[in-house]
Structure 1
Amino acid sequence: MMTTESPRTDGALAGLGRFCFRRRRLVLLTWIVGVIVVAFVGFNYGAASDDDFSGGDSGSARAQELIEKHFPERSGDTLTLAIKADKGIDDPAARQKIEKVVADISDSSITGPVVSPYQDASLVTLDRRIARMTIPLSDKEVEKSDVKPLVDTVKHASDDSVAFGLGGYMAEKAETPPQGPAESVGILAAAVILFIAFGSLVAMGLPIVTALLALAAGLALIKLVGHVVPAPGFTVIFGVMIGLGVGIDYALFIVTRYKDSLRDGDDPETATVTAISTAGRAVLFAGLTVVIALLGLIVMGQRLMTGVAVATSIAVLVTMIAAVTLLPAFLGFTGYKINSLRLPRRASRRDQPVDALSQRRTPAERWAGVVQRRPLIAAILAGGFLLMLAAPMLSMRLSQPDASVQPRDRSSYISYKILSEGFGPGFGAPLIFATEVDSADADLRPVVAAVSRTEGIAQATPPQVSKDGQAATFTAFPTTGYQDEATADLVHKLRDDVLPEAPGGEAVLIGGPNAGTIDVSEESAERLPLMIGVVIALSMVLMLSLVRSVTIALQAAVMNALSIGAAFGVVVAIVQWGWLGTAFGFPTEMPVTSWVPMMMFPVLFGLSMDYQVFLISRIREEYERTGDTRVAVTRGLARTARVITAAAAIMISVFMTSVLGPDVAVKQGAVGMAIAVLIDATIVRMVLMPAVMELCGKANWWMPGRRAPKTVSAPPAEVEGGVRV
């Protein structure tokens, strides 16, 4: 007896879809009012970002605690003014310009007392051409908008005879422009893709409007949650990228299913219920996979990455809720007009008569046949290519961006160049030594001498004891720069060999921004495998509950890990090796930012599982109807290729538009995620997955204790989006 499955009309999701359709005015009003209220509260009273990655029990964190406790006068932010005069700073014309700048900075309400280079000879090089000046900020709560006038003053004072550069963390923040039009460009690109995919302005607009409303609420909630779980500044940018991408994609799958139901003869309400019962179910599974993967960041044990995990998970959750509540309300308003304002084009294959369909195969079906005829060769070639792309990952170095990797027209980079020329590249990478002492008479000179003799140290300052006589500190400058691997090796050598052998050196800690970056990067590298394992394990459990196959869950985990590894390798080649780096907006070669791999893996694993969910759901449905894996894979690819390709294209466009922004660390993550989605949607989904499933045959559907599925001979239903009908 031939049977076919119909979407449930009595389940919770069906009831939700029906309610939202019938009470669409109430649902829409609730969403609009809710978004306005949440946005007003969140954007006006949300928490400020926290970019302090220090903390924990590392040596640099404990050194910072000592300094803040016993040297409060040194715990505030500072700026560094770098000066280069071709004729020397004593030239009358140059001196007039320099003293004018010094006076303007001294008169600022946010700066403390400053010492001019003309008052301290140690601030000037021997040839008197290059000088520096440390500028303390009077208030720890100084905003970047307060520092921007100082940056502008320094820039405007520079000319061909005297160059000025203002460096320091706050100076870098002050002159970094906002993200700009990147999100707008991403939305425009998504609109074009949706218009091409749907051929209708109305159908194109629904996913975008749904995603934008959800994104506004999600970002406001991220700001509010920041009061409880602090998060760094890049969280909002990634929240926009991820929320916008998945929001449009999830709405795309539901709208596609709705259009298919209308074409099959359903009325708008039935089509909405069908779409939410089928595609909506897949959206919930896919979204939960992304959330679980993101929450895997908590395993890293870093408070700010925990904030990133919670914040971005909220953005995804809001988009999920919007997809299954707000979108059905919109569908209630559009009804049969979903195809209004169409793009003139020839009838698609899906609109042709059934007998014509039987005579023609889609490109996806023909491609699946090519792969399935030589599955072993296809699997070896695809797997080998992915491993080749992943190979550079073995040389990945982690760090944090500093002035040396900023755009060349930034004042902070000019400051770095001047100071490196005059005082050595290690001047921007100071190592701050701190230790507890018994009295103000404590003698750290043997430790300072041992550090000064160490190869790789340019010079060390005399030790200073705190006013309370309980702590002492001194600073050493490496001969290498902040981003150099030799600087990290030097820190390890000092900690492991030099300090333990020096009298009284066992208790001395090494801190400062440079050592802090090294500690955070190494801690991230150590914990990354644990996070990867947790994310894969939890995602496999969720996949098992959906597809009910151990084999497919394992395949998904391995193939997703391969595609992400390949993306990591490409990021290393672009960012660290400099291959096509300038094309993506990277001023120079640089290590990968320490949080980028941590952020990329859970996001990409979750997104890869999204496409796996939609595709495998459709393949499994075909297998239960036919009992033939080859036919199931062929039909599954044919039914989902167009919509998954559109979804991937949207995600890639949203990610790549972030390359237009100014933040080099965000660029790294955006490029990596765009490449990973491209690899996943092409090599993995179109080559590796069908090849591996062909090789596994009936073993694809192995699940302990489950009977073989009954097969029927019903013709395949016309379903798009990889969801059960």
Structure 2
Amino acid sequence: MARTAVTVRAARWSAEHPWRAILMWVVFVAAAVGVSTVVPKQETSDADYRTGESGTAAQIIEDAGLEEPPSESIIVTSDAEQLDQATAQSAVKELRTGVADVDGVESVGKAIPSEDGSALLVPVTMAGDEDDAGEHVDGVLDVTTEVAAAHPDLQIGEAGDASVDDAIMERVGEDLSSAESMSLPITFGIMLIAFGALIAAGIPVLLAITSVVATLGLYAPLSYLAPDDGTVANVVLLIGMAVGVDYSLFYLKREREERAKGRSTLDAVEVAARTSGHAVVVSGFAVMVAMSGLFIASDVTFASLAAGSILVVGVAVVGSLTVLPALLVKLGRWVDRPRVPFLWRLNRRIGKGGIAGRILGPVVRHPKRSAIGSIVVLAVAATPLVGMKLEQGSLETLPKDIPAVQTLSQIQEKFPQDADTVQVAVSADPDTIDAVTGELRSIEKEALAGDDFATTGADQLDVAEDGSGAVLTLPTTHPEGSDANEQAMLDIRDQVGQQPGGDLEGTEWAVGGGVGQTYDASHHLSERLPWVVGFVLVLTLVMMLVMFRSAVLALLTTLLNLLSVGAAFGIMTLVFQNTWAESLLDFESSGSIIDWTPLFCFVVLVGLSMDYHVFVLSRVREGLRNGLSHRAAVERGVRDTASVVTSAAFVMVSVFAVFATLSMIEMKIMGVVLATAILIDATLVRLVLLPSLLLVCEPLLRGFGRREARRGSPEIETEERVPALV
């Protein structure tokens, strides 16, 4: 071997020192877990989400010291049309007395009645910042629960930023535990069916689990560069289980295949390293390149998801190239023990690519018809994509069975002034502050004259003590996330943008608040979307061009990615923008898709689809370099990889489908989209569309795979026996 691939060198070292390789992996995982116990994970802060004009407004408010302290609200209602005031006031008195004694509570306001008299609202001001409020809000909730138990004829609930955030994080943790408990046995069951032997089935699952555990530990120091927004653990589990099992499966299947040809375990490991090992490296790099496109979005959520995903893919690749060969060498033929009699015989009877061979027959005989038919099917599935409506996550998209969410919805219904807000912030100095406050009063008067804003009964204009700034807070009358709120905010921005000079020169004006933040974040994402998509498509195209040295093949890869993703997104729109699947998936449709999920799913799918694509095309090129005709190489390459691709796809589909059962709508969307896309990609695309297009484009692909073997491409293995490793 004139040139030895890195994958082969890694396999050789692991084969020669198996116990060292295994011990090093164990130490690595343990050290990663240890890191997470020593280094606290960095969470995102409100400042991390600032963007656009609303971000400027938030910064002005912070610099002027005009930030509102964290607060909670306790609502008292009953089933009756009118609230029994005597009973309600008694409960309010108990609430105010009990909550005032809770550590971290700064003050408890007087009860505020609703306009219709059916509810009372007790405002609670927390001390410190949002983090401090999160630490002490449980005490307020405990008092609320005790008083509610003492007054069963009343409905008493608490909601606020801290309590809702805590409830959501608790639900996310429950979802993560549920996903782990469901995905592991399902994955092991699929591996058992694929291999028919317990040890062989357990190895991919073990590698995937340890990769996920190590990644979650290593992410702690990385979170200081990409803070966790609360979803990283979910995504690491989602991606880690999928790629960890896939990479082990590619490697292990090839090693077993070579042993079945009569090679020794050492020889089989080296062949697997030279072929499947190289495909794993390329596929892993493709996933990491695709995920890196999320950094272009300049969004803290995407940055954390990209960092976690790239890290878990890298760890899984390293594990498949080091500890996996060591395990295979130490276990030898014990990998196929103990056998499950029925499953083992079934695998032997079906053989390699048995089912795929039946599908491939008509495809090979009629490639043009197969290609046109597949493209039509995918195009029809993608049709609903035209009507996709993207909106930011809001109260309406949160699980309705969370008590804090139910309470917050009730508060916004009974007290509209506690819903979304628009804030006009001004940075000034003592010489201009009088003119600024005068202009803000004019804006307030004009805004309250319409139907878009409400008054709270308190002064809505707050001025800094040193005269460095002022902020006008205007509560909206429309439900959170409504188009009317957005238009009202834009009208205020137009008005502020026309501020005259004179006494107002040297001031900085910005309109933000909750409505502005939602609007700016959505538009920021829309502006970045084309750049992210273009970056991912161009880089994956370049990767295919470099690896296979064929522009036609690189363009075909891009076409296949777009078709499969488009079909999956069409199904996503059909499912989540309508109500017909609500009972099936246990969700309530908001008539839209949460805006960040399609972009994240796009980069994940482009990366993951490269797994199968590279694996299949590598086997096709291997056949061509071994002297097969173009047609025979395509047919054999697809058939020989069919069982691996199918098994890997079933693992991914099952893991992703588990996420569709979770309560958070974002997880449901990702689960359905990823499971659907992988299923389409592994069946219709890889078994029908890819081989048919390769055959149809044969005149344009004559150089593919025909270059001299002396180029030494590390993923190609000839039929000659490979020298033993030791």
SS at 1:510 equivalent: strand
Match of 1:233 among 230, 234, 254: 230
Amino acid of the residue matched to residue 33 of structure 1?
A: V
Q: Residues 631-664 of structure 1: CA distance to partner in whole angstroms, max 9, x if unpaired?
A: 3322222111111011011111112222344433
Deviation digits for residues 166-209 of structure 1 (CA, Å, limit 9, x no counterpart) = 22232122223222221121111110000000000010011111
Q: Secondary structure in 1 aligned to 2:91?
A: helix
Alpha-carbon distance change, 278 to 29 in structure 1, aligned in 2, over 3 angstroms: same
Q: 1:68 to 1:90 in 2, by over 3 A?
A: farther
SS at match of 1:83: strand
- Residue 598 of structure 1 and its aligned partner are, at CA, apart by 2.9
The residue aligned with 1:297 is 294
For residues 590 and 44 of structure 1, what CA distance do their matches in structure 2 show? Answer: 44
Higher mean C-alpha displacement, 649-658 vs 694-703: 694-703
TM-score normalised by the chain length of structure 1: 0.88
Any residues of structure 2 matched to 1:442-521 within 5 Å, and which? 442-443=437-438, 444-454=440-450, 456-459=452-455, 462-496=460-494, 498-500=495-497, 508-521=509-522
User: Match of 1:650?
Assistant: 651
Aligned equivalent of 2:371, options 369, 374, 379: 379
CA drift of 1:436 comes to: 2.5
**Secondary structure of 1:657 counterpart:** helix
Give 1:422 shift.
Answer: 1.9
Following TM superposition, by how much is the alpha carbon of 1:624 offset from its aligned partner in structure 2, in angstroms?
A: 3.7
* Rounded Cα–Cα distance in structure 2 between residues aligned with 1:51 and 1:369: 57
Question: 1:494-528: per-residue Cα shift (whole Å, max 9, x none)?
Answer: 324x4445768995422223321221121112111
Deviation at 1:626, TM superposition (A): 5.0
Counterpart-to-counterpart distance in 2, 1:361 and 1:395? 39
**Which residue of the partner structure matches residue 668 of structure 1?**
669
Following the alignment from structure 1 to structure 2, what is the Cα–Cα distance between the partners of residues 370 and 244? 35
Structure 1: distance between partners of 2:328 and 2:185? 22
Q: 2:125 maps to which residue?
A: 136
Secondary structure at the counterpart of residue 479 of structure 2? coil
Shift of 1:625: 4.0
Task: List gaps (5 residues or longer) in structure 2.
Answer: 711-716, 721-726
Residues in 2 aligned to 1:413 and 1:57: alpha-carbon distance in whole angstroms: 26
Q: Is the 8 A contact 2:367 2:692 kept in 1?
A: yes
| 1:30 counterpart (24, 43, 48) | 24
Residue 617 of structure 1: how far off its partner (Å): 1.2
| Contact residue 368 and residue 633 of structure 1 kept, 8 A | no
CA contact (8 A) 2:545 2:551 kept: yes
Give 2:246's aligned residue. Answer: 249
Q: CA deviation at 1:702?
A: 5.3
Distance 2:470 2:413 in 1: 30
- CA-CA distance at 1:440 after TM superposition: 4.5
Please state whether the residue corresponding to 2:465 is helix, strand or coil: coil
C-alpha spacing 1:587/1:621, structure 2 compared with 1 (3 Å): same
1:94 matched to 2:88? The reply is yes
**1:614 counterpart = 2:615:** yes
* Distance 1:80-1:388 versus aligned 2 partners, 3 A rule: farther
Does structure 1 residue 685 correspond to structure 2 residue 686?
yes
Alpha-carbon shift at residue 164 of structure 1 (Å):
2.5
Q: 2: distance between equivalents of 1:274 and 1:126?
A: 77
Give, as a single letter, the amino acid of the residue that structure 1 aligns with 2:425.
Answer: A
* Letter in structure 2 aligned against 1:301: S
Larger mean CA deviation between 24-33 and 302-311 belongs to 302-311
Using the TM superposition, name which of 132-141 and 268-277 deviates more: 132-141
Residue 316 of structure 2, aligned match among 308, 319, 325: 319
- Percent identity between matched residues is 27
2:56 is the counterpart of 1:62: yes
1:61-118: CA deviation from partner (whole Å, max 9, x where unpaired): 01111111113451x432232332436556222222232233332222122212121x
CA offset digits 1:111-142 (Å, max 9, x no partner): 2212121xxxxx32233222323323213223
Query: Structure 2: how far apart are the matches of 1:58 and 1:516?
Result: 8
Q: How does 1:176-195 map to 2 (within 5 A)?
A: 176=168, 177=171, 178=173, 179-195=176-192
SS at match of 2:322: helix
In the TM superposition, 1:618-633 aligns within 5 A as: 618-626=619-627, 628-633=629-634
Shift, 1:347, TM fit: 6.8
Residue correspondence of structure 1 range 474-623 to structure 2 within 5 A: 474-496=472-494, 498-500=495-497, 508-589=509-590, 591-623=592-624
Q: Secondary structure in 1 aligned to 2:108?
A: coil
The equivalent of 2:7 in structure 1 is 13
Q: Which moved more, 1:559-568 or 1:368-377?
A: 368-377
Instruction: Give, as a single letter, the amino acid of the residue that structure 2 aligns with 1:429.
Output: D
Q: Aligned AA for 1:77? A: P
Contact 2:52 2:520 in 1 (8 A): yes
Query: Mapping of 1:688-703 within 5 angstroms?
Result: 688-701=689-702
In structure 2, the residue matched to 1:416 is 408
**How many aligned positions are there?**
694
Counterpart in the other structure of 1:3? none
User: Which of the numbers 66, 69, 77 marks the counterpart of 2:70?
Assistant: 77
Name the aligned partner's letter for residue 435 of structure 1.
Answer: V
How far off is 1:556 after superposition? 1.0
Q: Which amino acid aligns with 1:132?
A: L
1:292-371 paired onto structure 2 within 5 Å: 292-345=289-342, 362-371=354-363
1 CA distance for matches of 2:134 and 2:671? Answer: 25
Query: In the TM superposition, what whole-angstrom CA distance separates every residue of 1:257-299 from its partner, at most 9, and x where no partner exists?
Result: 1111111111111111221121111100000000111111111
Q: CA, structure 1 residues 80+350, in 2 after alignment: closer, same or farther (shift >3 Å)?
A: closer
Instruction: Confirm or deny: 8 A CA contact 2:64 2:464 kept in the other structure.
Output: yes
Residue 423 of structure 2 is aligned with which of 423, 432, 437? 432
Question: Which letter maps to 2:140?
Answer: L
Task: Provide the C-alpha distance between the structure 1 equivalents of 2:362 and 2:451, rounded to a whole number of angstroms.
Answer: 61
Instruction: Give the Cα–Cα distance (whole angstroms) in 2 for the partners of residues 718 and 83 of structure 1.
Output: 78
Q: Return the offset for 1:153.
A: 4.3
- Counterpart of 1:340 in structure 2: which amino acid? R
Q: Is the 8 A contact 1:571 1:672 kept in 2?
A: yes
SS of structure 2 residue aligned to 1:71:
coil
Return the alpha-carbon distance in structure 1 between the equivalents of residues 678 and 353 of structure 2. 26
> Root-mean-square deviation (CA), in Å?
3.1
TM-score, length of structure 2 as denominator length: 0.88
